[in-house]
Every structure is written in structure tokens, then in C-alpha cells.
């Protein structure tokens, strides 16, 4: 899990949620046959460290079942003799979060609680978007789409954004976090804005003017 903080971090990174493909020759295959790897990216908004009324609304700790256990390493072996690993279950939703990053049970519990809050907030945002789409009778792309986002092709040095249906020969720049990512993000944001306007206008056309 990677945690990113900063101004508008979620607004920027939420459009990275989805499938990312990497195409390149295998370093261990002498035939240099092309290999494709796929990773699915999930982006959650994090609640602030400090307690807030919004956070309290999202998560009542009385609704959380806490379980502790020994942390496990590769092959299922115990990595320590204390019950430092923590598993939280949000009983109303059934959402479960397990954490064993630290040797401290207290730190694992706090981190798991933050992840649980993030997942509840993510669920709330998705429900709100689903409700809006239901009212508008729309079925379009969202920031939580499971569709392909990009393909990174190493031999050709290209990046293909599948939402925009555009290809850019700027692989190194993209992997270095260069300006091309800002360009892609801006274009996707503009596309989403156009879609929302089109959806709104289509909804007006469907309304009966006599009502």
C-alpha cells in the first residue's frame, strides 16, 4: 500500500484507478518473447489523522470487531511471538482490513483503522455517484472504473491511454512522473466534464415539458 499526501492528491490520483498493463521482453527469456503484466490500481481517499465529525459519521468504533494474531511471513511462518497483527471487521458492512506492517500492535491497529475509514469513505463516494447516475439514468465512465487505463510498451517507447484512445511516444517521461502525466490527467478531466454536460442535457431532453 502506498500513501500519498498533498494538495489535491486524491483529485489527481483518482483517475489512475483501474488496470495498467506493462509490455516488455522478459529479462530471463532468451527468446525475447513479449511479456505482458497487469496491475489493478485502487485509489482511496484518506481521512485526516485528527478526529473529525465527518470521520465519526463514517465509522463508529463500536461497530468494529478487533482481532489480534501473530504476524505471518513467507510460507505461513510466524515472524514474531507476540500478537502484533490486527484484523478489523466493520460489522454493518462486512468490510475487513488486516494489518501487520509493524511489530507494534498499537501501530497496526491505528493504520488498519485509517484504511478502514478510507474504504468506508470510498464506498460512500461510490454510492453517492451511483445515486446521481440513477437519477440521471446514466451509465458512463467513473473514477472507479475497472476498465483499462493505460498500456506501457517498452520496445516501442509508447504509452497508450485507453480512455482517450490516444498513444504518446513518451514512455520514459511517463515513468519518471513527467509532464505527460499532467497532460493526460487534464485531457481525461476535460473528457469527464464534457460527458457530465452531455448527460445533463440528455436528461433534460427526456423530461416531459408538460410536467
Q: Report the C-alpha gap between 42 and 69 in whole angstroms.
A: 27
Claim to verify: residue 198 and residue 154 sit in the same structural domain: yes
Contact 136, 199 (CB under 8 A): yes
Claim to verify: residue 20 and residue 64 sit in the same structural domain: no
Tell me what pLDDT residue 143 has.
41
Tell me what pLDDT residue 111 has.
92
CA distances from 202 to 131, 138, 192 (A): 17, 9, 15
Claim to verify: residue 147 and residue 210 sit in the same structural domain: yes
For the chain, the average pLDDT equals 81
Claim to verify: residue 176 and residue 210 sit in the same structural domain: yes
Tell me what pLDDT residue 144 has.
44
> Tell me, what CATH number does 177's domain have?
3.30.70.1660
Radius of gyration of the chain (CA): 22
In the chain, which residues have pLDDT < 50?
49-55, 75, 135-145
Q: Cell 423530461 maps to which residue? A: 207
Domains contained in the chain, number: 2
Q: Report the C-alpha gap between 29 and 6 in whole angstroms.
A: 41
0.85 cut: is pTM over it? no
Tell me what pLDDT residue 26 has.
82
> Tell me, what CATH number does 64's domain have?
3.30.160.20
Claim to verify: residue 125 and residue 171 sit in the same structural domain: no
Cα torsion angle, 108, 55, 47, 64, sign: positive
Tell me what pLDDT residue 53 has.
43
Tell me what pLDDT residue 202 has.
81
Claim to verify: residue 124 and residue 175 sit in the same structural domain: no
Q: Report the C-alpha gap between 54 and 26 in whole angstroms.
A: 48
Task: Report the DSSP pairing between strands 148-153 and 95-99.
Answer: unpaired
- Parent domain of 38: 1-43+143-211
Claim to verify: residue 55 and residue 39 sit in the same structural domain: no
In the chain, helix, strand, coil percent, each to 5?
A: 40, 25, 35
Claim to verify: residue 126 and residue 169 sit in the same structural domain: no
Among the candidates 91, 120, 142, a domain finishes at 142
Strands (E), 18-91: 18-25, 34-41, 64-69, 85-90
Among the candidates 83, 109, 142, a domain finishes at 142
Claim to verify: residue 135 and residue 59 sit in the same structural domain: yes
Q: Report the C-alpha gap between 177 and 183 in whole angstroms.
A: 11
Give residue-wise pLDDT tens across range 36-45: 999 998 887 7
Among the candidates 142, 170, 185, a domain finishes at 142
Amino acid at each position: 500500500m502506498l500513501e500519498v499526501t498533498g494538495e489535491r492528491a486524491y483529485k489527481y490520483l483518482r483517475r489512475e484507478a483501474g488496470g495498467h498493463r506493462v509490455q516488455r521482453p522478459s529479462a530471463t527469456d532468451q527468446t525475447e518473447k513479449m511479456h505482458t503484466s497487469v496491475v489493478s490500481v485502487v485509489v482511496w481517499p484518506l481521512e485526516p489523522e485528527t478526529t473529525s465529525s465527518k470521520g465519526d459519521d463514517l465509522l463508529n468504533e463500536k461497530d468494529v470487531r478487533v482481532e489480534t494474531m501473530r504476524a505471518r511471513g513467507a510460507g505461513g511462518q510466524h515472524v514474531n511471538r507476540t500478537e502484533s497483527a490486527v484484523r478489523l471487521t466493520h460489522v454493518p458492512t462486512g468490510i475487513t482490513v488486516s494489518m501487520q506492517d509493524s511489530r507494534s500492535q498499537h501501530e497496526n491497529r491505528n493504520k488498519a483503522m485509517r484504511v478502514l475509514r478510507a474504504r468506508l469513505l470510498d464506498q460512500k463516494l461510490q454510492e453517492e455517484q451511483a445515486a446521481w447516475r440513477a437519477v440521471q439514468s446514466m451509465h458512463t465512465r467513473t473514477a472507479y472504473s475497472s476498465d483499462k487505463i493505460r498500456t506501457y510498451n517498452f520496445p516501442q517507447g509508447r504509452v497508450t491511454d485507453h480512455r482517450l484512445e490516444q498513444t504518446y511516444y513518451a514512455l520514459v517521461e511517463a515513468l519518471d512522473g513527467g509532464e505527460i502525466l499532467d497532460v493526460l490527467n487534464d485531457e481525461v478531466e476535460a473528457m469527464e466534464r464534457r460527458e457530465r454536460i452531455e448527460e445533463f442535457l440528455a436528461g433534460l431532453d427526456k423530461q416531459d415539458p408538460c410536467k
